[in-house]
Amino acid sequence: MKKVVTIIIICLTINSFAQNPLVTNIHTADPTARVFNGKLYIYPSHDAVPPEGIVAPRFCMPDYHIFSLENGNTWKDYGVILDQNEVPWGKKNSYGMWAPDCIERDGKYYYYYPAPPKDGTSFRRIGVGVSKSPTGPFKWEKNYIKGIDGIDPGLMIDDDGKGYIFFAGDKTIKGAKLNKNMKKIDGEAIKIEGIPAGYVEGPFPFKHNGNYYLTFAHVFPDEGYTIGYAMSKKPLGPYVYAGKIMDNIDNGTNHHSIVKYKGKWILFYHWWSVSGYSKLRSMRADYMEFKKDGTIKKVKPTLRGIGNPRVNDTIQVDRYNDIYNAKATFVGGNEPNGWMVSDTKMMSTVRFNGVDFGKGEAKKIQARVASGQRNGSFEVRLGGTKGKLIATFPVNYTGGYNKWQTIETELVGNPTGIKDITVVFKSVWGATKIVNLNWLLLKK
Ligand code: FUB
């Protein structure tokens, strides 16, 4: 007899959200991802709902958070690391903390951010803070960096140790070499040649196989925001436009970064599909590949995203690889924002690829469910619909299709390694709503 227990979850594992969007505890945009000492960090901006009575300029962006990847797919939020009213040179209550970046040089971490200056000399200036740790605390420089007038700092340290800063301004991308202390530019910022016509912002530079890549958000008059890139043999160009990395995804803005993590290239970007409002965005990530000639294959946005959830990471099955005879719809009731698998019928299936069972540490599996009836069950199988059965959950009445409970059962067969799973729903034929399923979670 398999043991099935109902567990009342008072609060979820902190920020235990995975797949796309990466986090839903706050709205995040402009994700700059960095790998420091083998660990993945994200330095995004923060979209907030304007406080009552505040008319925020375009976006309402009061502060910055930092996130790190803590397990196979769980993001830790370090909280506010800089508030708009702590910017030494910034205009108070301006809600204009746009896209930041952070880079490491000689064991120190430099956090660059744009903000409206109190001296009114520009739309945005760019400031910097220094820390011994990638998550701060940062010591904020008293003044903004002279000679930089723009938004969206994008940093690069070249193989020879020289630092470069790129930024957007006057509908172009500009770049400059940084001084050794990383707090001043060396000479003047120059306009980067070779960037295509049309509005551009969000420059993100990197080097790969001897090529310099300058990637950026690029607006086509007919298509809107895309992510494009140009290539060069020199850090400050001239560059040659090489095409799009992501087509327009109907998202108002797009802003991205690219890192190689555990041998795979990942594109981080944002969308607003959770909030339904273009000023409340959420960061996302999908794998990216290079072609043999060094050009980049276009990335299609997915809900499945990146990473291999393992013990204690939620497996967001609603961000599936494949679904049959069921839907992924917005979750409701006492549940955080996101999606669920709904409209489940006899033999509905949902497949989720790449669960990391490790060395077989997982002994139990939990499911977050809501049901308005008590007939049927759902199974978890390895591989496809006919794959090895590893868990069976009975369906019970939880109080309704918006009343959520976490249930748990034993994991059978001691699965190991990275495996695809398929959830198979069963009930009487003709049932159209067996159970709503939000996520699964492996437990020791
Ligand atoms: O998030 C505010 C601004 O919108 C960023 O600075 C731009 O890149 C765009 O994403």
Distance CA 174, CA 239 (A): 12
CATH fourth-level superfamily of 27-288: Glycosyl hydrolase domain; family 43 (2.115.10.20)
Distance 356 CA to ligand 1 centre (A): 35
Task: Summarize the confidence of residues 151-171 as an average pLDDT.
Answer: 97
- What pLDDT sits at residue 252? 83
Q: For the chain, first and last CA: distance in Å?
A: 19
Kindly tell me if the per-residue pLDDT of 21 is higher than 50: yes
When pLDDT is cut at 50, 70 and 90, the band that residue 12 belongs to is very low
Kindly tell me if the per-residue pLDDT of 50 is higher than 80: yes
- Residue ID of nearest Cα to ligand 1 atom 8: 202
Q: From the CA of 47, give the closest atom in ligand 1.
A: 1
What is the number of other CB atoms lying within 10 angstroms of the CB of residue 107? 6
Q: From the CA of 59, give the closest atom in ligand 1.
A: 2
- Residue ID of nearest Cα to ligand 1 atom 9: 253
For CATH 2.60.120.260, the residue range(s) in the chain are: 6-12+308-443
When pLDDT is cut at 50, 70 and 90, the band that residue 146 belongs to is very high
Distance 45 CA to ligand 1 centre (A): 8
Q: From the CA of 254, give the closest atom in ligand 1.
A: 10
More confident site: 251 or 346:
346
- What pLDDT sits at residue 18? 54
Distance CA 165, CA 99 (A): 14
Distance 31 CA to ligand 1 centre (A): 10
DSSP secondary structure of 116-156: -BTT-SSS-EEEEEEESSTT---EE-SSPPTT--SEEEEEE
- Residue ID of nearest Cα to ligand 1 atom 3: 98
Task: Summarize the confidence of residues 129-152 as an average pLDDT.
Answer: 98
- Residue from 27, 43, 59 whose mutation best tests the ligand 1 pocket (most atoms within 8 A of CB): 59
Backbone angles phi, psi at 84, to 5 degrees: -55, -35
Distance 119 CA to ligand 1 centre (A): 22
Q: From the CA of 202, give the closest atom in ligand 1.
A: 8
How does pLDDT run across 191-224, given as a tens digit for each residue? Answer: 999 999 999 999 999 999 999 999 999 999 999 9
- Residue ID of nearest Cα to ligand 1 atom 2: 98
Kindly tell me if the per-residue pLDDT of 14 is higher than 70: no
- What pLDDT sits at residue 19? 85
For CATH 2.115.10.20, the residue range(s) in the chain are: 27-288
- Residue from 201, 246, 271, 283 whose mutation best tests the ligand 1 pocket (most atoms within 8 A of CB): 201
- What pLDDT sits at residue 57? 73
Instruction: Enumerate the β-bridge partners of residue 356.
Output: 418
Q: Which of 315, 361, 374, 376 is nearest to 340 (CA)?
A: 315
Kindly tell me if the per-residue pLDDT of 127 is higher than 80: yes
DSSP classification of residue 91? P
Q: From the CA of 201, give the closest atom in ligand 1.
A: 8
- What pLDDT sits at residue 335? 86
- What pLDDT sits at residue 333? 83
Distance 413 CA to ligand 1 centre (A): 48
DSSP secondary structure of 274-286: TTSSTTS-EEEEE
Kindly tell me if the per-residue pLDDT of 137 is higher than 80: yes
CA distances from 63 to 100, 119, 122, 252, 411 (A): 11, 20, 20, 21, 43
When pLDDT is cut at 50, 70 and 90, the band that residue 133 belongs to is very high
- What pLDDT sits at residue 169? 93
Q: What dotted CATH number matches 6-12+308-443?
A: 2.60.120.260
pTM as predicted? 0.90
Range of lowest pLDDT (107-111, 172-176, 179-183, 335-339): 335-339
Task: Summarize the confidence of residues 158-178 as an average pLDDT.
Answer: 96
Distance CA 56, CA 381 (A): 49
- What pLDDT sits at residue 2? 42
Distance 255 CA to ligand 1 centre (A): 7
Kindly tell me if the per-residue pLDDT of 17 is higher than 60: no
Contacts of 86 (CB under 8 A, 6+ apart): 140
Catalytic residues: 30, 201
Kindly tell me if the per-residue pLDDT of 375 is higher than 60: yes
